[in-house]
Amino acid sequence: MRDDYPDRTLAGVVDTSRSPYARLRTVPLRAVRLGEGFWKPRRQANVAAGMPRFLRDMEEHGVVDNFRRAAGRRDVPWRQASYASESDLYKWLEAVGFVLQTQEASHLREAAEAIIEDLAAAQGPDGYLFLHTSLSSPEGYERFSQLDRSHELYCAGHLMRAGIAYYRATGEERLLQVGTRFADYLCTEFGPGKREVTDGHPEVEMALIELYRATGERRYLDLAGFFLSLPQSAGNLPPIAQRPALVGHAVRSGYICCGGADWYAETGDEAMLKNLRYLWQDLVRGKIYLTGGVGARHEGEAFGEPYELPNARAYAETCAAIAHAMWAWRMLLATGEAQYADTLETILYNAFLSGVSLSGDEYFYVNPLASNGGYRRVPWFGCNCCPPNIHRMLASLPGYFFTFSGDGVQLHLYDACKALLTLPERTAVRLDVRTRYPWEGSVEVVVTPAVAAEFTVSLRIPAWAEGALVQVNGDPAEAEAVPGTYFNLRRLWQAGDRIHLRLPLKPRLVESHPRVGENRCAVALQRGPLVYCFESTDNPTVSVPDLALAPPSGDTTGGFVAESQPDLLHGVTVLRGPGRAMCMLCAAGGETRLYRTWGCGPYPARYEQEVTAIPYYAWANRGDCTMRVWLPLTHESGGVAACPHHLSGEATA
């Protein structure tokens, strides 16, 4: 190991502390301690329920035994599993690493350490470790012979990252060494004049760069750069620095963009950054759901054309949400621009969080924005990429709240927490964030430098936060808080200085670009970073698939008001307001013609009815339901007070 081996305890979720071209530096997860806010119970459920259950399920399905068998440690038959099953275990181990960077978790640590021994024993003498080749599996093939589908380098990358996270947490190098031995072997096998091909599923690129950051070994960065320079071996896609649009498999796309952004942070490759910016625009202008979900097509788990964003048939894989949160984070680190943090927040509170049940141990693979019933989260999939990806994202979440730069500290995500940060020139500062965000818009930050010091505290003003206000020690700040930017407070900070940010949380109706076919003449409801949805559970007497809104012109709240419900769905704020509803009897007895001459009379009339919306992330936690995020606007007159079935008592009987 090199002399200048970086201090593991200072590394963040990724470590940009020495990245020459990163504008922002990450803070260690261990520096941030969550308070009684939004994320803490979700991280607790992850550690107490989700991760243990998934480990039990992996054991039951033979995922770990396959390693023990390869190591000669257990005489069991080979258990058929998906190509990527090894990466499921690696991601789970990475999640353990992130957990242990912030807390004790002996039940996870003990299991992990035994498994790490199995992995180390299964590794070949040359460093190769992948079970689906002919070495280990009866259905196997020659190593590196089927990279377009084998996921060999993908799994290798996840192995490296597991080793890094575990080492940064514990200082134990065993798993990191397994990863570096594999990486060293890859360096001998791949590169110019050697194997000039890469994996069909990116991942190894960002893993190699993080391994370079963790070890200081330049060859890992070089190999990552080599892989990035190649076309993707599945789907015949150009290298990411030249790709003209976001196409193909959404998770693969997100991961290679992460690798590209990491590459920029280390090398300053302007052509790479330029194309990543261009691809980002392709994402946010036409290929991302309101929820932050990514990937419109079930077929190929792929991006669609611009504006192709079906709701009930959204794919929006949980892993794609995570991949694009990770990309957003890396773009933020590279550029310091608030637009990336805005998207990061959107994804985390909506498309990502909907991927896991409130109980923390059941998962969605697909995250549609409308359902006619039949969706439920499950603990286990045939292809299991999403659950451990959720585990590691939840575990690493405190690492996304803050960054620092030469200038000072930046606050990106607001949640109740205490952070003890060491700014440049060794300025130690404690930040005490007090908030009930996203339920309430008040964010108080108590700034306590060890000694009075001048630096900038930058507060992200979310793009939706029109009318945000900032006070320092009770005095309104002079500058205007501009949505979609950082509000910079530079001063000589004294112990106990208080910042008060007030974010406006009025419900708001949003519309989408008219080229989004399914959202034409429709609106969705948001409050703060949360997208809301209408679930039949809360609206039992009406037909949710026929629900509409008729908002008063000019009232962008649509008449909806927030109401805190501490006992509902582990505590949420619901939105209640006037809908235009059709009762189930009206809907069932209504128009049956699929097509008819235009303007030949109304469909069954909708009547005014108070309706209730819940946060999208919480849907499908109370049994089967129908659900809609986008509701049509209706111009029907409001004269109908109730349908005939209601008036007769039939509809509520």
Positions that interact with a copy of itself (CB under 8 A): 284-286, 288, 290, 297-299, 304-305, 307-308, 310-313, 370, 372, 508-518, 520-523, 545-546, 551, 553-554, 556, 558, 591-600, 603, 632
Query: What are the CA-CA distances from residue 287 to residues 173, 305, 529 (Å)?
Result: 41, 7, 19
Please state the closest distance from residue 595 (CB atom) to a copy of itself, in A: 5
**Is 509 or 611 the residue whose CB approaches a copy of itself more closely?**
509
- Residues in CB range of 432: below 8 A, 6 or more apart: 418, 445, 446, 448
CA distance 37 to 40: 6
In the complex with a copy of itself, the residue whose CB is nearer, 311 or 458, is: 311
| Residue 396, Cβ density class (10 Å: 0-12 exposed, 13-18 middle, ≥19 buried) | buried
Contacts of 116 (CB under 8 A, 6+ apart): 93, 166, 174, 175, 178
Alpha carbon 290 to its chain's center: 14
- Closest approach, Cβ 72 to a copy of itself, in A, equals 35
The residue among 420 and 510 lying less far from a copy of itself, judged by its C-beta, is 510
- Nearest residue to 222 (alpha-carbon basis) of 258, 268, 267, 182: 267
List alpha helices for 296-351, DSSP H: 318-335, 338-347
By CB neighbour count within 10 A (0-12 exposed, 13-18 middle, 19+ buried), where does 71 fall?
Answer: middle
**Nearest approach, Cβ of 544 to a copy of itself (angstroms)?**
11
| Bridge pairing between strands 469-472 and 442-449 | unpaired
464: closest CA among 510, 501, 401, 416?
510
Q: Residue 491 Cβ, how far from a copy of itself at the closest point, in Å?
A: 33
Nearest-5° angle of CA 233, CA 199, CA 67? 145
Which ranges in 46-151 belong to alpha helices (H)? 51-60, 63-70, 85-100, 106-122, 147-150
Residue 99 or 468 having the CB closest to a copy of itself? 468
Q: Of 401, 457, 406, which is closest to residue 429 (Cα–Cα)?
A: 457
Instruction: Give the shortest CB-612-to-a copy of itself separation in angstroms.
Output: 19
Q: CB of residue 345 vs a copy of itself: minimum separation in angstroms?
A: 14
CA distance linking residue 109 with residue 633, whole number of Å: 53
Q: How far is the CB of 515 from a copy of itself (least distance, A)?
A: 6
Smallest separation, CB 479 to a copy of itself (Å): 23
Backbone φ and ψ for 358, nearest 5 degrees, come out as: -60, -30
The least distance separating a copy of itself from the CB of residue 366, rounded to whole angstroms, comes to 11
CB nearer to a copy of itself: give 111 or 583.
Answer: 583
- Strand pairing report for 453-461 and 408-411: parallel
Name the residue with tokens 């194309």.
275
Instruction: Give 432 or 518: the residue with its C-beta nearer to a copy of itself.
Output: 518
Task: State in angstroms the smallest separation of the CB of 624 from a copy of itself.
Answer: 15
| Helices 174-189 and 152-170, packing angle to 10 deg | 150
The distance of closest approach from Cβ of residue 503 to a copy of itself in the complex, given in angstroms and rounded to an integer, is 15
Nearer to a copy of itself, 236 or 592 (CB): 592
Cβ distance to a copy of itself smaller for residue 426 or 593: 593
The span from the first CA to the last CA of the chain, in angstroms, equals: 74
CA distance 20 to 16: 8
For residues 392 and 95, is the Cβ–Cβ distance under 8 A? yes
Tokens 């992948």, residue located: 130
Nearest approach, Cβ of residue 619 and a copy of itself (Å): 18
Q: How far apart are CA 234 and CA 200, in angstroms?
A: 4
In angstroms, give the least distance from the CB of 368 to a copy of itself.
11
